[in-house]
Amino acid sequence: MSRLERLDERYRAHHTDEKQEFVFGGDERGVVFAGLVGGPGRRVLDLGCRTGALASYYARGNEVIGVDVDHEALTRASDRLGIDTVWADVEEGLPFDDASFDVVVAGELLEHLADPRAAVAQVRRVLHPGGLFVGSVPNAFRLKSRLAYALGRYPADWDPTHLQLFTPGALRELLSGFEDVRIRFAIGRLVRLHPRLMANVQIFSARRPSTASAADSA
């Protein structure tokens, strides 16, 4: 069995029928992502697309291609949105030409990867110069999680498929090859009181530099 087949099996088991269509904070993230993606007429690569719950917010008027390791979820995305999909493992490289997308979206993906730096390098490669990278990761160090860690426990919403924990500083470091990096804290009833401590999610955007650099030719 190939690595992709093993991942497909793992994530199909992880996403039960009840969870398959559910995306935490999907409405809020979808609206923010749609505003960042823009359009119409954008060519968008959606990494970790699953069933297209987030892509549904920015698919209309744009050309969206969804990528995921969960083959069954991709079939649902294609059926519901009419988008093209590619069954692939981001960590094994993206099967797309250099500078072939206006926007790359990665909603709640990077925390699942053993080597997110390599994946981000692939994102940079497939983006047009000046293209936008949009995504989100859990705010793993919010107050609720910190209290659980202090008590020697996993947080109640701990996901066993998460391989990374990102502080805002670690996220900025991961995106160091991009320009205009912006991180906002979102989703949660008490976000206004203290975004960094109360938000469930970090939403980021970053732009591939318009001018060539050593990283682009590496």
pLDDT exceeds cutoff 70 at 117: yes
Please state, in angstroms and as integers, the Cα–Cα distance from residue 153 to each residue in 21, 71, 148, following that order.
28, 33, 5
For the chain, give the percent of residues with pLDDT over 90: 71
Please state, in angstroms and as integers, the Cα–Cα distance from residue 6 to each residue in 1, 70, 77, 163, following that order.
7, 10, 21, 16
For the chain, give the percent of residues with pLDDT over 70: 92
pLDDT exceeds cutoff 60 at 20: no
Q: Which helix (H) or strand (E) holds 79?
A: helix 71-81
pLDDT at 173: 97
Q: Which structure tokens are listed for 157?
A: 């919403």
| Higher-scoring residue by pLDDT: 14, 87 | 87
pLDDT at 178: 98
Q: Which structure tokens are listed for 149?
A: 């860690």
Cβ within 8 Å of residue 111, ≥6 positions away: 137, 138, 140, 162, 163, 164, 165, 166
pLDDT at 152: 92
| Higher-scoring residue by pLDDT: 188, 126 | 126
pLDDT at 214: 45
